Amino acid sequence: MSKIVGIDLGTTFSAIAILDDLGNPEVLANPDTNSKITPSVVYIGKTDKVLVGDKAKDAAIAEPNRVAIEVKREMENEDVVFDPTKGTFIEGEKNSKNFTPSQISSLILSKLKDYTTGVRKAVITVPALFAERARTATIDAAKLAGIEVLELINEPTAAILHYANLPGSSLSGRILVFDLGGGTFDVTIAKVQGKIVDVITSRGDKHLGGTDFDREIVKLLSEKYKKEKGTGLNEKDKKIQDIAEKIKRILSVKEKVSEVVDGPKGPIKIEITRAQFEKAIGRYLEQIKMLVEDALESADCTHEQIKQTLLVGGSTRVPCVVETIKKVMKKNPVKGVNVDEAVASGAAIYAGLLSKKDLNAAQKKSLDKIELEDVCNHYLGTLVVAKDHERNILGVANKIIIERDTKLPCSKTVEVETLYDGQAVIECSVTQSEGPEKDKEFVTILHESNLDLPKNRPAGQPIKVTYSYDKSGTIHVEFLDVNSKKKYEADLKPMGSQSIKDLKKDLNFDIE
């Protein structure tokens, strides 16, 4: 029987959870290590051998260039590949010697899938601010791993589902979820009443997380090494990066830590204090504060109106992160769950909601009364010809149709006009942006096509553009020529960009 599965595909760690027979989420452990979180690290050998997780991290000591890390940060980049001879992602075409971010991520998913049997379908989590390309790449990765994606769910939304479904949970009112992981940061505000979750807004940064904190520690180590030895460290050395991560973890419980660092001029002992670390990551803390304040403003509420702040993500263990939250929210945040497991657990709950016909009576009862209302996390628009009043010229501009934070499902219509006499075609473009951008250079074009128009008509003919966005993530677009009733329609949903055959090319590995 196919299991109900949720997967947290993280930047630094990943996890897989199932619903047990009583309908409770259970994060599965790696049979080899008994750990419930798996490092999102992949070693690609010169032969057909692949290591994932802790074994990959161990292999990095001897062959650092053959190890891919932080793959999630590259998921929206269509033109990059991992080169195992250089140990980094580079711009270039895929061939038998390098691998796309989707292919690398599929190896992580395949590893997680093997923690149990019967995994065919799953809900996979993504950062709330993940763009469409990154979501599509995530589905490509799942395809390669032999997993059908029921739906993608935003990570903080999944976390709220888990908190709301805890035995004895009494969440009520406006809740802020603070999700700081290894590579991304999301803050989401939702109205929660029992098991009913109504998301209001999400803000975040796709490039802010614990690995950025690690890099600041690496810089500190290099500066201190240089002060004593006259030359700095190789900041890309994975052994130095591992030491930095260890120092970060220790500084979460101690005021200072000393580690022996072996550099180009021999080993020395270096001390890092918590105060030095906090100063080094100050700009990230300020960015976090600004994003939380932006979310509050967008939700039209003050910190007093937030009943609880819930913590998710391993990087929330850093004391100064918690202090930053306290300063903004004027109250202590809540650590009511294992912050590393909450997102995967919520994804498993959502998978259950989408697969109710496959549940037993106890599972159905456990998920009874759970409701989820989400929002659009980006601005959706279309490109039009508009007048630049400052320069008194016509130019192409982006016209917003669906605003960010609009409740789903929704349907919005705008009316535009044909530009000139005898116009025979209009371009039907769908754009996505994080802000209300007018400049076409700052938007992503999700879809392009044309609508042919009747001949010999005067300018100014009305065209209605309608976008309908449902809870599953499908955007239905319609461009209607009002007078002739001719129209162009399309359904846009992350479905994967390539066929399984193309994706699997040059990807036949023995995964450990």
* Model pLDDT for residues 359-370, shown as the tens digit of each residue: 889 988 988 888
Q: Report whether pLDDT(506) > 70.
A: no
- Are the beta carbons of 314 and 245 closer than 8 angstroms? no
Q: What residue ranges in 389-443 does DSSP mark as E strands?
A: 393-402, 410-417, 425-433
Tokens of 389: 């009043």
Q: Is 502 buried (19+), middle (13-18) or exposed (0-12) by CB count in 10 A?
A: exposed
Q: Report whether pLDDT(121) > 90.
A: yes
Say what the pLDDT of residue 213 is.
97
Q: Report whether pLDDT(61) > 70.
A: yes
Q: Which residue has the higher pLDDT, 328 or 371?
A: 328
Total-model pTM = 0.89
Q: Report whether pLDDT(111) > 80.
A: yes
Q: Which of 13-22, 175-184, 388-397, 466-475 is least confident?
A: 388-397
* Domains identified in the chain and CATH numbers: 5-166+338-370 (3.30.420.40), 210-280 (3.90.640.10), 379-492 (2.60.34.10)
406 pLDDT tier (thresholds 50, 70, 90): very high
Q: Report whether pLDDT(336) > 80.
A: no
Q: Report whether pLDDT(447) > 60.
A: yes
What is the residue-averaged pLDDT of the chain? 91
Tokens of 485: 């009733």
Of the candidates 361, 372, 367, 355, the residue with the CA atom closest to the CA atom of residue 3: 355
Q: Report whether pLDDT(1) > 70.
A: no
Q: How many Å apart are CA 82 and CA 90, to the nearest integer?
A: 6
Task: With residue 314 as reference, give the H or E element that holds it.
Answer: none
Say what the pLDDT of residue 79 is.
86
Letter for the amino acid at 269? K
What is the mean predicted confidence (pLDDT) over 356-379? 89
What is the mean predicted confidence (pLDDT) over 196-222? 94
Q: Report whether pLDDT(224) > 70.
A: yes
The DSSP bridge pattern shows strands 148-154 and 13-19 to be unpaired
494 pLDDT tier (thresholds 50, 70, 90): low
Say what the pLDDT of residue 371 is.
87
Say what the pLDDT of residue 368 is.
86
